[in-house]
């Protein structure tokens, strides 16, 4: 039985801040010399991002109670526990908002949901987001729950793979997949190039999908196949560790180069004939990653337009980002019944996750 994404919902924090505002704030940090300030300006301006959403209004200059992250123009470095407390306070609402939107658009009731798969790498607590979704959405207390943590930007694809396998084993299953990432909680006020690059792209957001067995009366995206590939190098170039002052992201300039060097062989291996792909959903880890993928695969400029548009409006929301792209593709009338969609995302390792999907439009 083919599993199908029948609906996708998204949610964003209320605070929307321009890239230029965040650039100027980060460049103004005490101890940043002219070289660091130039690097901040170059990284933020080259990111191809206009706006990002964050759960911290303080970053947009709004004075509120909560996590102490700013004193005037000086960014503070609260301890990991305080950052995680803010995650625990704010993440469940975004998980629930995206999930409600997905369920409302699916044609299923909350009573129909049999499984919940949650995804996040920006916080942790127990009972966790999976438990809170059952309570917040009024799901059955017998719903099976799974949580995928610390997989990073690529995690939406393994979550969809798990959902597809559940539905393949039980055609009556209705699986809710929900990804929420609050990357802004882990800003590091460091002039190290890796931290500047991370600060220039990461943002907050949530995406959710309802996956069920294919039904001719429901539009959606059939989940046809999945593949994963670990590159020969890159283990130290994309990493995510827990520090005393938040989670510390390593994202070196080698990441786009590694992807650009290896993506052609990987794509041919996991996706087959690229000429058969009608639409692309590539995780925009950054503008340079999209540029390398486009060049290496010989794609035309429009192929990655959906990925670039999500990056421009929202930044890199880690695992949730791919669901935003798939949502936009699903809503695009240019995507016809039977069209092939290739999805790819990149995570620590360096790991490439891929999926092949087929667009399904409701029969008359």
The residues carrying an active-site annotation are 153
Strand partners, 146: 117
What pairing do the DSSP bridges indicate for beta strands 70-71 and 279-282? unpaired
- Other C-beta atoms closer than 10 Å to the C-beta of 317 total 32
Are the C-beta atoms of 202 and 183 separated by less than 8 Å? yes
End-to-end CA distance of the chain: 22
338: alpha, beta or left? (left if phi > 0; alpha if psi -120 to 50)? left
Q: Which residues are CB-neighbours of 169 under 8 A, at least 6 positions away?
A: none
Are the C-beta atoms of 211 and 175 separated by less than 8 Å? yes
236 class by beta-carbon count within 10 Å (0-12 exposed, 13-18 middle, 19+ buried): exposed
- Name residue, tokens 């959903």: 281
Q: What distance in Å separates the CA atoms of residue 91 and residue 89, rounded to the nearest whole number?
A: 6
Are the C-beta atoms of 64 and 101 separated by less than 8 Å? no
Are the C-beta atoms of 11 and 36 separated by less than 8 Å? no
Closest residue by Cα to residue 133 from 118, 155, 148? 118
173 class by beta-carbon count within 10 Å (0-12 exposed, 13-18 middle, 19+ buried): buried
Q: What distance in Å separates the CA atoms of residue 133 and residue 51, rounded to the nearest whole number?
A: 28
Q: What distance in Å separates the CA atoms of residue 166 and residue 173, rounded to the nearest whole number?
A: 7
Q: What distance in Å separates the CA atoms of residue 255 and residue 235, rounded to the nearest whole number?
A: 10
Name the E strands within 270-338: 279-282
């Amino acid at each position: 039985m083919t599993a199908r994404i029948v609906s996708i919902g998204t949610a964003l924090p209320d605070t929307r801040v321009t890239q230029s505002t965040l650039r100027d704030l980060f460049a103004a940090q005490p101890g940043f010399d002219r070289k660091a300030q130039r690097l901040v300006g170059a990284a933020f301006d080259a990111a191809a991002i206009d706006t990002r959403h964050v759960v911290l209004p303080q970053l947009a200059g709004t004075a509120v109670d909560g996590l102490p992250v700013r004193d005037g123009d000086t960014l503070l470095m609260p301890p990991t526990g305080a950052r995680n407390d803010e995650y625990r306070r704010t993440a469940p609402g975004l998980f629930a908002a995206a999930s409600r939107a997905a369920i409302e658009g699916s044609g299923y009731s909350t009573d129909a949901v049999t499984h919940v798969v949650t995804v996040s790498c920006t916080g942790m607590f127990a009972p966790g987001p999976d438990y809170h979704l059952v309570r917040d959405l009024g799901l059955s207390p017998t719903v099976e729950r799974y949580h995928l943590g610390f997989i990073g930007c690529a995690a939406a694809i393994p979550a969809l793979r798990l959902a597809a396998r559940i539905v393949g084993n039980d055609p009556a299953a209705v699986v809710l997949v929900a990804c929420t990432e609050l990357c802004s909680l882990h800003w590091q006020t460091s002039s190290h190039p890796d931290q500047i690059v991370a600060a220039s792209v990461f943002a907050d957001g949530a995406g959710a999908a309802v996956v069920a067995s294919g039904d001719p009366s429901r539009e959606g995206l059939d989940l046809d196949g999945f593949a994963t590939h670990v590159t020969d190098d890159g283990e130290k170039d994309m990493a995510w560790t827990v520090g005393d002052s938040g989670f510390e992201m390593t994202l070196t300039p080698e990441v786009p180069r590694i992807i650009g060097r290896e993506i052609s062989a990987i794509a041919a291996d996991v996706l087959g004939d690229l000429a058969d792909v009608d639409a692309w959903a590539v995780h925009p880890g950054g503008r340079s990653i999209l540029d390398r993928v486009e060049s290496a695969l010989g794609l035309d400029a429009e192929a990655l337009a959906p990925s670039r548009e999500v990056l421009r409006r929202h930044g890199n929301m880690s695992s949730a980002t791919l669901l935003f792209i798939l949502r936009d593709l699903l809503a695009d009338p240019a995507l016809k019944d039977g069209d092939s969609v290739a999805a790819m995302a990149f995570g620590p390792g360096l790991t490439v996750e891929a999926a092949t999907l087929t667009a399904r439009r409701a029969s008359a």
